[in-house]
Structure 1
Amino acid sequence: MSFFDLLKMVGGLALFLYGMNLLGDGLSRASGGRLERILEKLTNNPLKAVLMGAVVTGVIQSSSATTVMVVGFVNSGIMSLKQAVGIIMGANIGTTVTSWILSLTGIESDAFWIRMLKPSSFSPILAIVGVGILLFSHKDKLKNAATILVGFAILMFGMDSMSAAVSPLAEVPEFTNLLIEFQNPVFGVLAGLILTAVIQSSSASVGILQALCMTGAVSFGAAVPIIMGQNIGTCVTAMISGIGASRNAKRAALIHLYFNIIGTILFLGVFYTVNAIHPFAFLGEVATPFGIAVVHSCFNIAATLVLLPFSNGLVKLACLTLPTHEDVKEMSETDKTLSLLDVRFLEKPAYAVEQSRLVASVMADKSREAMDLAMELLHNFDEAKAEQVAQMETDVDRFEDELGTYLVKLSSKQLSNKDSETLNTILHCIGDFERISDHARNIKEAAQEMHDKQLVFSEKAQEELKVFERAVHDVLDLTMTSFKNGDLNLARQVEPLEEVIDGLSLDVKQRHVRRLRKGKCTIELGFILSDVITNFERVSDHCSNIAVCLVQVNEDEFDTHAYLDELRQEDNKDFQSKVLACREKYQLPPTKQERLAEKNAKLLAE
C-alpha cells in the first residue's frame, strides 16, 4: 500500500465521518426537536420505547447521539431509568440503518435501473441538487433537506474513496495475517471496541469494516467478533457524557454499557458453542457489506429481544454499581427546572431552544407570583409569605444567570430562523423578568417596614392602591401569558394598559400630595407609598418591554421607540379605544371634589 493510497484512505475516512455528521445534523434540524419531544412522551411502554429509540436513531443516524440525549433526559429528571432502558436498546437497532444503506455499495449489475440503486451512481445527483439548494435557497426547510442530501453524498464519496484505497491491502500478507488474528473472538472484540471508541461512532466503524470487506480479505470469522466489539465501543460516548451528571444519568450510561457487554457475551457464547458442535460454513467465506449489515442487525435485534424482559435487572445492576448515598439531598423545584438546561442538549439546538423556553416560562411565572404575593403583603403582612417573595427573587436571579449563560452557548450553534427568533426573545425578556422580581422584593421590603413600624395607609389610599394593584396584576397576567403561549394578540393588549398605569401613577401621587397638605397622611407613609407606586410603574414598564419584544421579533423589526411612537399617535383609533376601555376598567374611586362636580353637573343637566 503506497503513501498515496494511505492518504486517499485517510481522506476518504475524513469525508465519511464528516458526511455522517452532516447527514445527522441535517436530519436533526429537519426534525426541529420533535423527535426528542416524542422520546420524552412515548417511553412508558417498553416496546414503544424500543420502537422510538430505533426510529429516532435511524433518522439521526447515531446511536451515540440518542444515548447521550437519554443521559441528558435522565439527568434532567425528564425520564426515569426504566424508561431509558427501552430507548437505549432501540438505539442499538436503529444504528443498523447506516450499515444497510452502505451495503448498497455492493450492488453489481449491468442493468441501468439496478446500477442507479448503487450509491456511487445516485450520490452525484444528490450532491448537485443539495449544493444548488444551499447556494440559492434561503428557506430553512429546503436548506435542511439540502444538508441531508449533501451529507449523504459526502458520506458515500468517502466510502468509495476508502474502498478504493484499501483494495491493494488484499495483496499485503501482513494485513491478511492480522485479519486472521481477529478470528480469535477476544482479539476481534478488542479491535472493534478500540476502533469505535476512538471515532465514537459504531455506524462509522461498521462502515469502515464494510469498506475493508471490499478488499476480499475479511472473512465472516473475523467480522463477527469485530462487530460485537463495535457495539461495546460505542458506549464510550455515553460514558463520557455521564461525567459530571447526576447519579441516575451515570446509571443510564452504565445500562447502555451493561446491555452491550451482556449481549455480546451471550451472543458470542451461544454462537461459538453452536459452532463447536456444528461448524458454520459461512465463517470461512469472504464477508460482504450486505453480510455485515445482516450480522449487525441480527445481533442487535437478538440482544434486545433477549434482554428487554430483564430491563429491570439492568436497572438494578446499574443501581448496585452506583448505589444511592444517604446524604444526597433532594433537588429543589428550582434545581429540577434548571436541570432542563442540560449541556448535552446543546448538540440538538432545536430541542435545547424548546427546553430554554420552558425554563423561561417557569421564570416568568415565578416573577408574576412574587409580585402578586408582594402586593398581598401591603394589606396583610405575613412573615412566611415575605420569605417566599425573597426566595422567589433569589430563584429568579439564578434563572437569569444560568439561562442567560446557556442561551449564549446555544447562540453559537446553527439555528433555524424560527429558533433564532425564539432565542433572541428569551434573551431579551429574562432581564425584564428578573427586574420584575426585584420590584416584588422592593414592595415586600416596603410592606415589612410598615409592619415593623405599625404604619397603615389611609382608607382612601388603600382603595386607590387596590385599583392600581388590579391593573398591575392584569398587565402581568397579559404579559406572562402572551410570552408563554406566544400570543401576539395578548401582547398587543399590554401597551394600552401600561399607558393607563402610567396615568394611575400620576393620579395616585397627586391625590397623596393633597392628603398630605390636609394632614391626612404622614410624610413617612408618603415616602413608602411613593416607593410602592414607582415600583408598580416600573413593573408595567418591564411588561411593556416584553410585549413589544414579542411583537417586534415576530415582525422582524426591533426599533422599540419608533414602534411605540407610532402606536401612541392620536390617529391610531384602535389603540386609543383600547386605552379608553382600560381607563374605564381601572378608575380610581372619585374624590370629594369629583363627586361634588358630578352632582353639580347632574343638577345643571336637569
Structure 2
Amino acid sequence: MSVSVIVALCGGLGLFLYGMKIMSKAIETVAGAKLRHILEIFTTNRFTGMIVGLIFTAVIQSSSACTAMVVSFVNAGLMNLYQAAGVILGANIGTTVTSQLVSFNISKYAPVILLVGVVSLMFSKKEKTKDIAEIIVGFGILFMGLQTMSSSMSFLKEDARVASLLLSLDNPILATIVGFAITSIVQSSSVTVSIVLLMAKQDLLGLPMCMYIIMGCNIGACSTAVLASLSGKKDAKRAAMIHLWFNVIGTVIMYVIMAVGQDQVISFIKMFSADNGRFVANAHTLMKIAQVILVLPFVKPLVKLASATVRGEDEKVGYRENFQLKYIGSKVIFNPATAMIEVVKELDRMASLASENLNRAMNALVTLDEDDINEVYKVEENINFLNHAITGYLVQINQMPLPIEDLKSIGAMFHVVNDIERIGDHAENAADAARQRKENGAVLSHDAMRELGEMLDMVNTIIRYSMEIFAKSDETHFQDVIDLEDRIDQEERKLQENHINRLTKGECTPEAGMIFSDIVSGLERVADHATNIAFAIKEEEDNLNAAKQGAIPLSKQ
C-alpha cells in the first residue's frame, strides 16, 4: 500500500469528519431551538418520544448530539428517564439515515453541492442564510471526503497485505471490537458505518463481518453520551446507561439471531439491496428497527437496569438552598441547545426566592418578628449570589455557539436577572422599614395595613403572571400584566392621597407615614420590574427586528 493511498484515505476521512461537524453545527444553530421545543413538548410517552428522537437525529445527522442533549435535559430535570428512553430508542433509528444517504451515489455531485454552498456563503448577508449555506458546504465537504476515500479504496484490493489484514477480521468478536474502538475514537457511528459501506462496495469486507462491525459501532456510539454524563447528576448518568444497555442488549440479540440463521438474515437483506453498499445501509437500519421493536415494550425494565447500574441519589438542591446553583454550575453538563433552558429555570427559582422574600418582609412589617426580618436579609444575600452567578454564566455562554433564537434571548436575560435582583432589594427595603418601625414604635393604622395588603396581592399576581410568561412562554396573561400594571400605578397614587389625608387628619404619625409612603412606592416599583420581565423577550425580538430593518429601536425607559 503506497504512501499516496494512505494520505488520500486520511485526507478523505478528515474531509468527511470536518464536513459532518460543519453540517451538524449549522443545523443545530438554525433549527436547534425549534427541535429542542419539540423535544420538550412531544416526549410525554415512549412512542411519541421515539418518533421525536428519530426525526431529531435524522435532521441533525448525529445520534451522539441527540443523546447528549437528552442527557442534558435529564440533568436539568426537564425530562424523566422513561421519556429519555423513548427518545434514545428513536435516535438509534435516526442515525441510520446518514448511511442510507451515503449508500446512494451522490458523491459525484459533491463538487457542485460544495460550489453552491460556498457561493451562497460568500454573497449572503443574512445570518440565517449564511447558516443554511454552511449546511450545504458541510454536506458537500462530507461527500467530497467520501469520494476521496472511495477512490483510494479501489487500490486496496490489489494489496496482498491489506487483504491479509482484513482476512483476520473474519471473527465476529474481533470485528465487533474493531467497530467499537473506531467509533469510540471518532465519536461517530456514522463515520465508521460509512467507511464499512465503502469497503463493502469495493469487496474488501465480507457482508457478515460488516454486520458485526456495525454492532460494535452501535456500542461505541454510546461513548459520547457516557462521557457527557460524567460531570452530571445521577439521572444523567442513568440516561447514558439506558443508551449503552440498549445497544449492548441489542448486540447480544443480533449475535443470537446471526448464530441461528446468518445465511437467512443475509439473504433477506440482499432481497432489497442493489449492491453491497446498499446492503450495509439496509442492514444498519433493519438492525436498529429490530432492536427498537424488541426493546420498546420493555422500557421500564431497561430504566430499572440503568438505575441499578448507577446507584445512589444526588444531594437535593431546593429552590431555597443558600449559595448554590441548581440548574447551572459544576454539576451541569454544558450543551448549547439546553443552556438557555437551564438559565430560565435558574431565573425562575431566583424569582420565587425574591417573591417569597417580599411577602416575608411585608409580613414582618405587620408582626415585627425579628426572625423574619433576619431571614429576609439572609435570603437577600442568596439572591445577590444568584445574580452574580447567573450573570457570569450568561457572559460565559454568550461567547459560545448557540442556536440563533437563544443568542437573541441573552440580552433579555441580563435585564431579567437585574429586575429580579431589584425585586429582592425592595424586599430588603421593606425589612428595613419593619426594623425601623420596631425601633421607633411607629404605628400603622388599620386602613393603612389593609391598603398595603390589597396592593401586595396585586403585586404578587403580576409577579406570578410575568414569570409564567417568561419561564413558560405562556402569553395567556400578557394583557392582564398590562392592565394590572396600570391598576397598580393608579392604586399607588390613590394610596399616597389617602396617606396625605390621614396625616392631615392626625390619624397617623409622620414616622408611620414615611414608612407607609416608602412601602407603597416600593411595591409600585416591584410591579414595574415584574412588567419588565414579562416584556423582556418580546422587546428583545422587536429591537433585533428593528435593527435588521435599519430602524433605531426605542428602549423602554
**Normalised by the size of structure 2, how large is the TM-score?**
0.82
1:546 Cα shift? Answer: 5.4
Partners of 2:146 and 2:132 in 1: CA distance:
21
Equivalent of 1:150, from 137, 140, 159? 137
Partners of 1:127 and 1:101 in 2: CA distance:
16
Aligned positions of 1:165-244 closer than 5 A: 165-244=152-231
Partner of 1:43: 43
1:75 Cα shift? Answer: 1.8
Partner of 2:76: 76
- CA-to-aligned-CA distance 1:369-418 (integer Å, 9 cap, x gap): 54355334434566887688567646644543443343233312334554
Amino acid across the alignment from 1:457: L
1:509 Cα shift? Answer: 9.1
Distance of aligned partners of 1:413 and 1:120 in 2 relative to their CA distance in 1, 3 Å threshold: farther
Contact 1:232 1:261 in 2 (8 A): yes
Amino acid across the alignment from 1:209: V
- CA-to-aligned-CA distance 1:28-67 (integer Å, 9 cap, x gap): 3333423233233333433333222222111111111111
- CA-to-aligned-CA distance 1:338-389 (integer Å, 9 cap, x gap): 43788546232xx533453454345445434543553344345668876885
Partners of 2:87 and 2:11 in 1: CA distance:
34
- CA-to-aligned-CA distance 1:436-469 (integer Å, 9 cap, x gap): 1122133134325535776422457557756875
Partners of 1:400 and 1:472 in 2: CA distance:
21
Q: CA RMSD in A?
A: 4.3
Q: Is it true that 1:300 corresponds to 2:298 in the alignment?
A: no
Equivalent of 1:423, from 407, 410, 417? 410
Amino acid across the alignment from 1:299: M
Distance of aligned partners of 1:511 and 1:5 in 2 relative to their CA distance in 1, 3 Å threshold: farther
Distance of aligned partners of 1:311 and 1:482 in 2 relative to their CA distance in 1, 3 Å threshold: closer
Partner of 1:378: 365
Aligned positions of 1:27-426 closer than 5 A: 27-105=27-105, 118-121=106-109, 123-275=110-262, 288-324=276-312, 329-333=315-319, 338-339=326-327, 344=333, 346-348=335-337, 351-364=338-351, 366-379=353-366, 393=380, 396-397=383-384, 399-415=386-402, 418-426=405-413
Partners of 2:534 and 2:78 in 1: CA distance:
30
Partners of 2:346 and 2:244 in 1: CA distance:
32
Of 81-90 and 292-301, deviating more is: 81-90
Local SS of the residue matching 2:155: helix
Percentage of matched positions with identical amino acids:
32
Local SS of the residue matching 1:171: coil
1:542 Cα shift? Answer: 4.5
1:521 Cα shift? Answer: 2.2
Partners of 1:225 and 1:357 in 2: CA distance:
45
Runs of 5+ consecutive residues of structure 2 not aligned to the other structure:
none
Amino acid across the alignment from 2:25: D
- CA-to-aligned-CA distance 1:421-444 (integer Å, 9 cap, x gap): 211111122122112112213313
Of 463-472 and 75-84, deviating more is: 463-472
Contact 1:461 1:512 in 2 (8 A): no
Contact 1:82 1:311 in 2 (8 A): yes
1:161 Cα shift? Answer: 1.4
Of 231-240 and 468-477, deviating more is: 468-477
Contact 1:443 1:532 in 2 (8 A): yes
Contact 2:113 2:137 in 1 (8 A): yes
Contact 2:319 2:349 in 1 (8 A): no
Amino acid across the alignment from 1:175: V
Runs of 5+ consecutive residues of structure 1 not aligned to the other structure:
106-117, 566-606
1:199 Cα shift? Answer: 0.6
- CA-to-aligned-CA distance 1:261-307 (integer Å, 9 cap, x gap): 12112212331343499997999xx9832121122122212222222
Question: Based on CA coordinates, which of the two structures has the bigger radius of gyration?
Answer: 1
Of 151-160 and 553-562, deviating more is: 553-562
Partner of 1:446: 433
Amino acid across the alignment from 1:177: S
Partners of 1:550 and 1:94 in 2: CA distance:
33
Partners of 1:136 and 1:492 in 2: CA distance:
43
Contact 1:214 1:288 in 2 (8 A): yes
Distance of aligned partners of 1:227 and 1:379 in 2 relative to their CA distance in 1, 3 Å threshold: same
1:195 Cα shift? Answer: 0.3
Amino acid across the alignment from 1:163: S
Contact 2:325 2:386 in 1 (8 A): no
Amino acid across the alignment from 1:27: I
Aligned pair count? 544
Distance of aligned partners of 1:171 and 1:564 in 2 relative to their CA distance in 1, 3 Å threshold: closer
Partners of 1:89 and 1:278 in 2: CA distance:
22
Contact 1:368 1:480 in 2 (8 A): no
Amino acid across the alignment from 1:306: L
Distance of aligned partners of 1:151 and 1:560 in 2 relative to their CA distance in 1, 3 Å threshold: closer
1:125 Cα shift? Answer: 3.2
Aligned positions of 1:16-35 closer than 5 A: 16-35=16-35
1:315 Cα shift? Answer: 2.0
1:514 Cα shift? Answer: 7.0
Local SS of the residue matching 2:79: coil
Of 195-204 and 334-343, deviating more is: 334-343
Of 158-167 and 475-484, deviating more is: 475-484
Contact 2:336 2:403 in 1 (8 A): no
Contact 2:496 2:517 in 1 (8 A): no
1:99 Cα shift? Answer: 0.4
Local SS of the residue matching 2:157: helix
Contact 1:468 1:504 in 2 (8 A): no
Partners of 1:282 and 1:520 in 2: CA distance:
91
Partners of 1:77 and 1:466 in 2: CA distance:
36
1:12 Cα shift? Answer: 1.6
Contact 2:455 2:491 in 1 (8 A): yes
